[in-house]
């Protein structure tokens, strides 16, 4: 399932990952921080790819059901 994600990366700040409707595996990346260098953007791209966020947003990485159940069982503290 395709999902729009917003992820706070260590170098690039918050990045929105938006799946493309035309291509199943393609995503668009939108940085909320306007003053990033190309190196910072590339570092955040690599982080998002290495951690599986891009595949998750595109719907090509199916979540582990055990992990999903565990995460849903954690109560909100706010």
pTM here?
0.67
**Measured between alpha carbons, how far apart are the two ends of the chain, in Å?**
28
Task: Determine, yes or no, domain membership for 32.
Answer: yes
- Distance CA(5)–CA(31), nearest Å, equals 12
| Element spanning 35, H or E | none
> What does the DSSP 8-state code read for residue 63?
P
Task: Determine, yes or no, domain membership for 63.
Answer: yes
Task: Determine, yes or no, domain membership for 55.
Answer: yes
Task: Determine, yes or no, domain membership for 77.
Answer: no
- Distance CA(60)–CA(25), nearest Å, equals 7
Q: Which has the higher per-residue pLDDT, 3 or 11?
A: 11
Place of tokens 């706070």: 8
Q: What is the pLDDT of residues 22-52, one digit of tens each?
A: 766 678 888 998 889 999 999 998 988 888 8
Task: Determine, yes or no, domain membership for 78.
Answer: no
- Structural domains of the chain, count: 1
- 32 token code pair: 């909320």
């Amino acid at each position: 399932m395709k999902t729009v994600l917003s992820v706070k990366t260590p170098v690039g700040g918050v990045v929105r990952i938006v799946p493309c409707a035309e291509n199943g595996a393609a995503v668009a990346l939108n940085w909320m921080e306007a003053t990033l260098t190309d190196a910072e953007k590339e570092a955040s791209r690599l982080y998002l790819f290495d951690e599986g966020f891009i595949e998750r947003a595109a719907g090509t990485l199916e979540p582990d059901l055990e992990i999903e159940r565990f995460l849903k069982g954690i109560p909100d503290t706010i």
